[in-house]
A and B are shown apart, each in its own frame.
Chain A
Amino acid sequence: MKAWDAIVIGGGHNGLVNACYLQRAGLDVLVVEKNDWVGGAATSRELTPGFLYSNCSYVCSLFRPEIMRDLELPRFGLQVISYEGGAVFTRDGDYLANYRDHDAHRREFARFSKRDAEAYDRYSRDVTRQCRFIQPLLMRTAPDPTSFRPRDLGELIYLGKKFAGLSAEEMALTLRFWTMSISDFLDEYFETDVIKANFALSGIIGTALGPMSPGTAYVLLHHYMGEVDGSVGAWGYARGGMGAVTKALAASFKASGGTIRTGTEVDHVLVRNGKAKGVVLAGGEEIRGKLVISNADVKRTFLKLVEEKELPDIFLRRVRNFKIRGSSGKVNIALDSLPEFPALPKDSPVYRADMHFTDSIERMERAYDDWKAGRWSADPFLDMMIPTTLDPTMAPPGKHFMSCFVQYAPPKIDGRDWTDADRDGFAESVIAQIAAYSPGFRDRILHMEVRTPREIEAEVGLTEGNIFQGELTFDQLLFNRPVPGYAQYRSPLSGLYMCGSSTHPGGGVMGAPGRNAAAEILRDLAKPTLHMSPAHDVI
């Protein structure tokens, strides 16, 4: 029987990134994917003729440019295009836009508050400083603070030096940034509700926290530390939907000799004498591999794919305690025509931006209270956009694809599983929210895909539908991610590695976990990593 050098479980973006790097290092790599398509949560599927949805993730910023270059993704079709800055509709019939031009941005804010308009520079300076501190950490393996190994000590010293390199004011802000709520943080800069809501949304997207929860200021950084072609904090569309990212990765992988088997669900990891030896498929087929790398989240990997008896108790306890509560849903809509928003001038660039309907921190927080109580938000927060205003490949001419990211949606409704009726109720809350700002919206809908945490888990395999494969709170970041003692992509089982977003630096279509895991694997194999670019300089 053939023994692969490495088997990657799951063809999500991190699994593919990992596989690409290993294959390019000379390993013979197999990717097994349970669905009939690759991509995990970065897919574009045609569910209704002529329309391509970005079914789960929908925008691109965090994906590391070093990876795009190393894996030659542009050659395999990846193109990322910037879009306009977003807007928040206000309940008084107006809106607040974030124009990309600095002075237009200021003038727009000045419509609401001259003071806030002029506060933006300082806010932007402070946030940028913090991003610059964090960005270089993304492409490094987190040190184990309990270890005396030279490498961990060296990495701790690196972190210490980086921190010591900050001015006292920056250090103080860093400490506060990691512990503050985004709401309190914004209160120190801005006075206007809608302006605060406009920034706060980056502090909650993907988390099971409200804007008033401590720690959400850090989440904002997580969304700001990406870039589009060097423009830090900018977001863009992958042309052809987010599936274009994984399509390019798959093509790159195959071009370098890798093998992908779709429609191939792993039942469990084959373990012999405490060593991973391959995988056993749902049908019973056994595939041998010297290494097994799981792109699945840490709970799925160790509580479903590996037998309990193979793992140390303390590890299992920590895996069980890993927090992975889903908090969001997704509604993808095929539209017969471009919706109108009477609040917007007809020629407004905002049509090509992401749109929001939550104009105060309080509304955002109340939406979160619903999540805590085990129900979807009555007044949901939406991150809504119409990519087809910039990307002609996703719908027939004149027709449009609309992507709505929705918060909050709990993993369980009042302690029980979601039902179809719940799902429909959830979808209705979203449609009603949009229709309140866009008369006639319902009539434009041709087709709709609704994804609650239930659907996200069932299809993509994300436990509890958590899009980041684990919450982004301090107890689950850096050396704590996914669990203390195993934050360096290795597992208690020799030959079994993790490469998903459950690992450092966490979720979003970033690719860094897959890359970093590959670096650790190659280190264990004593193979060179010359084909892996170091992190770009932050100067």
Chain B
Amino acid sequence: MNHHPTIKPPSHARTLAQSHFRTLRLGTPFQPRIDALGFKQDWYSWAGYRAPHSLWDEELEYFAIRSQAALFDISPMTKYRIEGPDAEAYLDRVTLRDVTRLKPGRVHYTAWCADDGFVLDDGTLFRLSPTRFRLCSQERHLPWLLDSAFQYDVGVEEETEAVAGLALQGPTSFAILRDAGFAGIERLKVFDLAEFPHDGTSVTISRTGFTGDLGYELFAPADKALSLWDRLMAAGEPRGIRAIGYTALNRARLEAGLIVANADFTTSEHAIRTDRLRMPDEIGLGFMIDPEKGHFNGRRAILEARAKKRLRHMLVGLEIEGNIPAEHAIVYYRRNQEVGLVSAAMWSPMAKRNIALASLQRPYGDTIADDLWVEIYAMRELQYQKLMKRAKVVPRPFVKLDRRTANPPADF
């Protein structure tokens, strides 16, 4: 071993981090509070974090979203801080929607694609200032984001651990925030964001969410997470606030017709089988594509696929007869020709309908939308009840609530 220059010892931080193997599932900054409420001890791994399926009762948690206010820990969501003079131009090239039209203090839902036009992920883009953004997503994308930054004056930094996130969703969420002392919260229109003072620092609150209901998302430095939680809980107590797990949230998002990466479609960097890749038009995100804006990743492939009619799939909302959820059921045309798969399904308490999201092979769902059926295998006491049910393509969202967008938000 004589070829080598003098070797510096590893940094203290690197050595300290060795011990992570003792905690395979990390806690989020809110973990002490969630552990205290997690009576069910029903955890799953959300990107390596210990996250609750449900804390107490998933039905009650779901109705908290729809009737009172639900508090959901979104800290494990991947977050990138994107900042610099070129941040706008950079994001405009990386993501599908026109970032030049996203004003400071606004948020939009967007997606991004690889060269071949297949979706890498979807997520929300927060414009915190003219030159500062936050991109939130399900999967991780640092190499892609850094490589995209070549020749842009922009910094990209992963800040998942540093920033704690909470979703406060439900009809009383506005009143809770107001009562908690976030002065001026009433001025936030849907997709607005603003900074509010909290515990000697500030918290970013946006009127956004994943429930289709009136709701907000709050981002704070990790060390202010607990005081934020306590502040909301204290103000929300008289208004029925309840911490919830993912099962309840997942129901609400389905009613709202929202899709989840790697549940309703496979993201490009995870698809081993190349026929699983999806273009935006194939998962209902075609509305994001703006051929008139500047160049963006995947533009050429997407426009070519449109022009040459090479789009092969279609993501649709289905309404299915009966009340048995059709999760992961095969979709048929004329009861015998396999044309797709249901990726998420439930009986909707708000719509009183049996709803589903499904991915169909075009032209089904596109030009041929009738005579569709789903084959449901319902396991009942160790026996499958096979049901063939008629399905109808319906627009999304399945549930549309005026209170989500009402201005000023109602106080109930």
Residues of A at the B interface (CB closer than 8 Å) are 90-94, 97, 99, 101-104, 106-108, 110-112, 114-115, 117-119, 121-122, 125, 128-129, 132, 166-167, 169-170, 189, 345, 347-349, 362-363, 366, 378-379, 436
Contacts and interface: CB of A to CB of B under 8 A. Distances in A.
A102 B48 CA distance: 8
Contacts of A122: 143, 269
A104 B20 contact: yes
Interface string B132-168: 0000000111110010000000000010000000000
A115 B158 CA distance: 9
A26 to B, nearest CB: 41
A125 B271 contact: yes
Interface string B10-30: 100011011111101100000
Contacts of A94: 10, 14-15, 18
A124 B48 CA distance: 18
Contact of B274 (A118, A170, A349, A379): A170
B36 interface: no
B307 interface: no
B21 A97 contact: yes
Contacts of A110: 17
Contacts of A107: 17, 20, 48
B116 interface: yes
Contact of A125 (B15, B48, B272): B272
Interface residues of B, number: 34
A121 B269 contact: yes
Interface in B1-45: 1-4, 7-10, 14-15, 17-22, 24-25, 45
Contacts of B8: 92
A366 B7 CA distance: 18
Contacts, number: 90
B140 A101 contact: no
Interface of B: 1-4, 7-10, 14-15, 17-22, 24-25, 45, 47-48, 116, 139-143, 146, 158, 269-272, 274
User: Secondary structure at chain A's binding surface: helix, strand, loop or mixed?
Assistant: helix
13 contacts: A90-B10, A102-B48, A104-B20, A107-B48, A110-B17, A114-B142, A121-B139, A121-B140, A121-B269, A128-B272, A170-B274, A362-B3, A379-B1
Nearest to B19: A345
Central interface residue in B8, B20, B21, B272, by most chain A CB within 10 Å:
B21
Contacts of B25: 103
B147 to A, nearest CB: 9
Q: Which 8 A-B pairs have the closest CB atoms?
A: A103-B48, A118-B142, A94-B10, A167-B274, A118-B140, A119-B143, A111-B17, A107-B20
Contact of B272 (A104, A106, A129): A129
A94 B270 CA distance: 31
B383 to A, nearest CB: 27
A110 B141 CA distance: 13
Given A103-B45, A108-B20, A167-B274, A91 B140 contact: no
A118 B78 CA distance: 11
Nearest to A132: B272
A108 B21 contact: yes
B191 to A, nearest CB: 28
Contacts of A169: 116, 274
B146 A104 contact: no
B143 A118 contact: yes
Contact of A115 (B3, B7, B146, B271): B146
A167 B24 CA distance: 36
Central interface residue in B14, B15, B18, B24, by most chain A CB within 10 Å:
B18
Contacts of A129: 272, 274
B142 A363 contact: no
A354 B47 CA distance: 27
Given A108-B20, A349-B21, A379 B3 contact: yes
B317 to A, nearest CB: 29
Given A94-B18, A111-B18, A121-B270, 17 more contacts: A90-B10, A91-B4, A94-B10, A102-B48, A103-B48, A104-B21, A111-B20, A114-B142, A118-B142, A122-B269, A125-B272, A128-B272, A167-B274, A345-B18, A345-B19, A349-B21, A378-B1
Contacts of A90: 10
Contacts of A166: 274
Contacts of B22: 347
B31 to A, nearest CB: 16
Contacts of A347: 22
B270 A104 contact: no
Nearest to B142: A118
Contacts of B17: 107, 110-111
Contacts of A436: 1
A104 B14 contact: no
Contact of B10 (A93, A121, A362): A93
Nearest to B18: A345
A90 B116 CA distance: 39
Contacts of A378: 1-2
B7 A114 contact: no
Contacts of A93: 9-10
A92 B10 contact: yes
A104 B146 CA distance: 23
Nearest to A116: B143
Nearest to A379: B1
A103 B47 contact: yes
A92 B5 CA distance: 11
A125 B270 contact: yes
B275 to A, nearest CB: 9
A45 to B, nearest CB: 33
Contact of B3 (A112, A132, A349, A363): A363
A372 to B, nearest CB: 16
